[in-house]
A and B are shown apart, each in its own frame.
Chain A
Amino acid sequence: MSIYEAPLNENTPPWPYTVDYDKVNEVTTDVLIVGGGTAGCHAAINARKKGAKVLVIDKANVLTSGCGGSGVDHWHNACTNPASGISPEDQVDEFQNCRKGIATSEYGSRASHYITARESWDALQDVEEWGIDIRDVNDEFVGADFRDEETKLMFAYDYDSRTVVRVQGAYIKKAMHDEMRRLDVQIQNRVMITSLLTAGGKIGGRVIGATGFHIRTGEFYIFKAKSTIVCTGPSTRLWVFSTELVGANSIHDDPNDVGDGNAICYNAGAEFGQMEAGGRTVGGFRYFGYGTGNAHNTWFACTIVDSNGKEVPWVDRDGKEIKNVADRYRLAKGQKMFYHGPPPHPYETQGPTLIHDLAERIESGEFVLPFYADLPGMPELERKAIFGLMVGNEGKTRHGVYEPYTDGGYDPNKHMMQANVLPPEEAGIHKPWWNGQGPPQWRETAFGGGGGLVYDWDCRSTLEGLYTAGNQMLGGGNHSQSASTGRYAGRKAADYALSADQVEVDKSQLSEERERVYAPVKRSAGIGWKEFQAGLCRVMQDYCATYKAEETLKIGLEWLESIKESEGQQVFARNPHELARIMEAFSRLTVGQMIMEASRARKASSRACDFERVDYPEVDPPDWDKYVIIKREEDGVSISDKPCDYWLQEPYASNYAENYDAHNGLDEKTTRVIGEAAE
């Protein structure tokens, strides 16, 4: 008797929802949105404003789903706000250059960065209109260095260029949800999409809808649509899986981000780029994000003191000591904007940091561990901005950090929060310290612009009828990028839908998918979803970890295929919830295959992609400064490449503005009137 069978007896309570695996529901719409997170909601609202009928599908509840589902505290790239003088072109340069050398970001996602630079501030004003405070409305921060007295906007990080806005967005998802309700956007919660429907059932054909099943009732759903926007997240828990680890073992991203979007689009024949990019992770072995003292990200630029209260100095990009706190937030002479991240960094955008030789100076005994974040020593309004505003509104931290810590007696005015006790070389890393690094076989694709759908200036994938926004795009990223590209993709997908026909779905595609999806509930014994999931992770750890080589990747692909046809046919589910977890593992299996295929195709190492080929050790040779593109075809996988600035090459114009102006799809219903949201 397996442990999975053991608890099933006459005393086992029945599933609390009525189950009907045979029931088929059919819904027709103009624009179908897969994934109702930040990108999906902005897409839905904008498609609806254009007059299209819109339906959003989410595995959870759109009210709280997605990475931004429990809040956002700062909003990037709002360079067109009235208090900033940065142009969208400068913002894209910053995007491209500032992150050189940081995992996954050099290749970037240039068209989406430009769209974000143009629309981030507009999207933020949308959010304000829906009821979120994006300004210091109660005048709690009057006189702060980061507050613009005229607009009452409050900025983070770089107080001179003023492109990152501090927002009170703990309930931002509710605001989006209410707006969707107001506009009569249809919402279907708790349905997992497992396939895209294509014209004639053909790989590479026009996308005409999707299928899914309800993760509480098990019912089958057929969604027919003229256009589809996939707004799902990246694939988490692909290398490290243990539900004993805190936070469903997921770092920043929602645990529902498993790569379903990757899998359905790849199976439909859409092209993907940059799938080989990734980075190290500590899995779930960490403190709550933003929940330990540090000097970065949400906690930038908090004073750090050592065990004896000795302050760790800050330095500017030239290594010159910065004497007062206010200057940690200021540009160097002649600098346009800075990036608040770790060196090494291009000199142009390097911002202030803790001393670069901190590790050596800990080893020499000059600074004594453990370290503390000295919030009490920070100027009052900075302290309040870091803990009261940002930790108080950031995703997951209001109820996960702010409330339990303050209930337990933590007082930011008096108490210095312990920074993780890290070895000197880690404490010297200019990154948030709640993590550490994890062993080399633990990796992730999430957070920071991994691979995704190849898209064009319509935010369309390489398949007709299939659009994308947010993290599902090649190189997709943060909240503002999701909101901005969501708006844009929503307009474009609506334009297409309003001029396109509805196509009949292929019957055999439906029946094959139903058979595949429900196979695990027709078995009454076998392998449980956790073993299946953990088994995939083992293959990723062994054959697609930090060190990659042709032979290991080949074996890895064989093993994934072997697991799919062997153990994959033995997995069994006792309720729709377990069925969802099994289907998620199948999504991850597909994503694993995509990553291994792309990794095999990149025959060079790359620092920007955090990609190491033992058999091709040369790092970033000029020939390989390009995207590796993979695509599924009837008879296997096709590999090609694209220049990293393909959005500025034929058939497009050679500059961003011209392309944006020609394609953005804005009309009188979707354009913001200047100053509309100002008080």
Chain B
Amino acid sequence: MSDYNQAYMVTNPLAPCTVVEINPDNCTGCRLCIEVCRTDVLVPNPETLMVPIVLFPDECWFCGDCVAYCPEPDTIKMHVPITEKVGWKDKESGDRYRLGMKNPPPPYTTPPVGWKSVREK
């Protein structure tokens, strides 16, 4: 860890959250996510021409099109803001859960009806 006493004078971020997160290890810079985004939230990275930049997170509609069209698995993910994280209760046990909780129940892996990757469509 670098010197944690080093602080910076920065403006507040534009939006409460990152909206989408890109894993730089998997991203090939193909720009498909940039091309499908309806509000140009994502723009090409001028320096490396690699991982797109989330330039206008405050204009994201959370439509997930960038996620749907990314050809690389586990590369771009929507970040659900805390304000949108719902809760639920197990009908049998009465245990309560919250999306994003520590130690969540295991993922439910059944895909939606009619699921195909966008390329098969």
A interface residue numbers (CB < 8 A to B): 3, 6-7, 13-14, 16-17, 60-61, 63-65, 69-70, 131, 133, 140, 168, 170-171, 174-175, 190, 215-216, 243-244, 246-248, 250, 254-256, 287-288, 291-293, 309, 372, 374, 376-377, 384-385, 388-389, 391-393, 395-396, 398-400, 402-412, 414-418, 577
Contacts and interface: CB of A to CB of B under 8 A. Distances in A.
A247 B15 contact: no
Given A246-B83, A399-B64, A404-B99, 11 more contacts: A16-B46, A17-B44, A244-B16, A248-B61, A372-B88, A393-B113, A399-B65, A405-B86, A408-B99, A410-B88, A416-B90
Interface in B67-104: 67-69, 78, 80-81, 83-84, 86-92, 97, 99-101, 104
Given A248-B39, A405-B99, A418-B89, A70 B65 contact: yes
B78 to A, nearest CB: 6
B91 A414 contact: yes
Contact of B88 (A215, A250, A416): A416
Contacts of B60: 247-248
B107 A409 contact: yes
A179 B31 CA distance: 23
A372 B96 CA distance: 11
Contacts of B21: none
A407 B79 CA distance: 12
Nearest to A406: B108
A247 B38 contact: no
A396 B61 contact: yes
Given A16-B43, A140-B113, A409-B106, A247 B61 contact: yes
Interface residues of B, number: 59
Contacts of B88: 293, 372, 410, 415-418
A415 B90 contact: yes
Contact of B47 (A6, A13, A70, A377): A13
A6 B11 contact: yes
A-B pairs, top 8 by smallest CB distance, nearest first, are A399-B64, A392-B112, A168-B114, A409-B105, A243-B58, A60-B38, A389-B113, A409-B104
B64 A396 contact: yes
B17 to A, nearest CB: 9
Contacts of A247: 60-62
Contact of A412 (B58, B97, B108, B114): B108
A248 to B, nearest CB: 5
A578 to B, nearest CB: 10
B40 to A, nearest CB: 6
Nearest to B53: A16
B22 interface: no
B107 to A, nearest CB: 5
Nearest to B47: A13
A412 to B, nearest CB: 7
Contact of A246 (B39, B84, B110): B84
A537 to B, nearest CB: 16
Contacts of B15: 243-244
Interface of B, secondary structure class, is loop
Contact of B121 (A171, A216, A415): A171
B115 interface: yes
Contacts of B67: 399, 403
B69 to A, nearest CB: 8
Contacts of A175: 121
A61 B114 contact: no
Contacts of B113: 140, 168, 384-385, 388-389, 392-393
Interface string B38-59: 1110011111000001001011
A291 B91 contact: no
Given A64-B65, A174-B118, A400-B64, A410 B108 contact: yes
A395 B65 CA distance: 10
A395 B38 CA distance: 14
B110 A372 contact: no
Nearest to A390: B113
B38 A287 contact: no
A60 B114 CA distance: 26
B114 A392 contact: yes
A421 B83 CA distance: 14
A407 B101 CA distance: 12
A399 B66 CA distance: 10
Contacts of B91: 309, 374, 376-377, 414-416
Contacts of B6: none
A293 B86 CA distance: 9
A415 B97 contact: yes
15 contacts: A3-B11, A60-B37, A61-B38, A64-B37, A140-B113, A171-B116, A243-B58, A255-B61, A293-B88, A384-B113, A399-B64, A400-B63, A406-B108, A409-B105, A410-B105
Most buried by B among A174, A254, A256, A309: A174
A406 B110 CA distance: 8
A7 B108 contact: no
A190 B5 CA distance: 45
A346 to B, nearest CB: 34
Contacts of A13: 46-47
A411 B63 contact: no
A529 B25 CA distance: 36
Contact of A414 (B58, B63, B90, B116): B90
A391 B112 CA distance: 8
A418 B63 contact: no
Contacts of B38: 60-61, 64-65, 69, 254-256
Nearest to A417: B88
Nearest to A420: B86
B112 A389 contact: yes
A577 B40 contact: yes
B65 to A, nearest CB: 4
A414 B97 contact: no
B109 to A, nearest CB: 7
B118 to A, nearest CB: 5
B114 A404 contact: no
B27 interface: no
Contacts of A255: 38-39, 59, 61
Nearest to A130: B121
B92 to A, nearest CB: 7
A65 B39 CA distance: 9
A287 B83 CA distance: 7
B36 interface: yes
Nearest to B69: A64
A7 B114 contact: no
A60 B61 CA distance: 13
A180 B36 CA distance: 17
Contacts of A171: 68, 116, 118, 121
A178 B89 CA distance: 43
Contacts of A372: 88-89
